[in-house]
Amino acid sequence: MSGALNENGIGTDIFWIGNKPLAGCIACKKCWENNKCVFVDSVNEFLDIAGDYDGFVFGTPVHWGGASGAITLFMDRAFYADLNGGGDRFRLKPAAAVISARRAGTTAAWDQINKYFGLMQMPIVTSRYWNMVHGTNPEEVKKDLEGMQVMKVLGNNMAYLLNSMNIAGKMGLDKPDPPEFVFTNFIR
């Protein structure tokens, strides 16, 4: 996918969340005060640089029929801190979820990750099929020819959207202002 992005003039970086355990969000709401998570780990490292990027691709393996616990813990805290802390690191920036599995669970994981993008007003980038590959290691994934094509098309579609948004900005088309949030609790 990064090859397709690079071929279309889009630079890429990889941010690895690491292989150490991450804490889940404890709803302490400290992020509402300082736009960062109270836990000091890769989530805050990511939040420090996320505003510098024009788009995002989040990848996860399938664990037990859904996205990995690590990516969901990471995204819960990063997106919650940004949304409730008054940040604007993600809104209206294109995003894609890429899922890898040995066999099944890819569509459930893809739906799960895409929900973060919907809540953050991020255009969701798709391919010609769901953004998934199959294999237990990189060599096996390369044999998934359809999955590899899906990744190339996804990269081209992401590049098209990013380049289109860049042109729109240069022509004076501003992003809409963020809405004032209205919250409704279903139980009163």
- For 91-129, what is each residue's pLDDT tens digit? 999 999 999 999 999 999 999 999 999 999 999 999 999
* Amino acid, res. 72: T
Going from N- to C-terminal start, the domains of the chain cover 2-170
Structure tokens at 186: 């279903």
Distance between CA atoms of 16 and 33, rounded to whole angstroms?
Answer: 26
Per the confidence metrics, is the pTM higher than 0.75?
A: yes
Burial class (CB in 10 A: 0-12, 13-18, 19+), 9: exposed
What is the CATH topology of the domain spanning 2-170?
Rossmann fold (3.40.50)
In DSSP terms, 67 is beta-bridged to: 62
- With contact defined as beta carbons under 8 Å apart, do 133 and 97 qualify? no
pLDDT in tens, the chain (188 residues): 899 999 999 999 999 999 999 999 999 999 999 899 999 999 999 999 999 999 999 999 999 999 999 999 999 999 999 998 877 899 999 999 999 999 999 999 999 999 999 999 999 999 999 999 999 999 999 999 999 999 999 999 999 999 999 999 999 999 999 888 888 888 87
SS3 for 26? Answer: coil
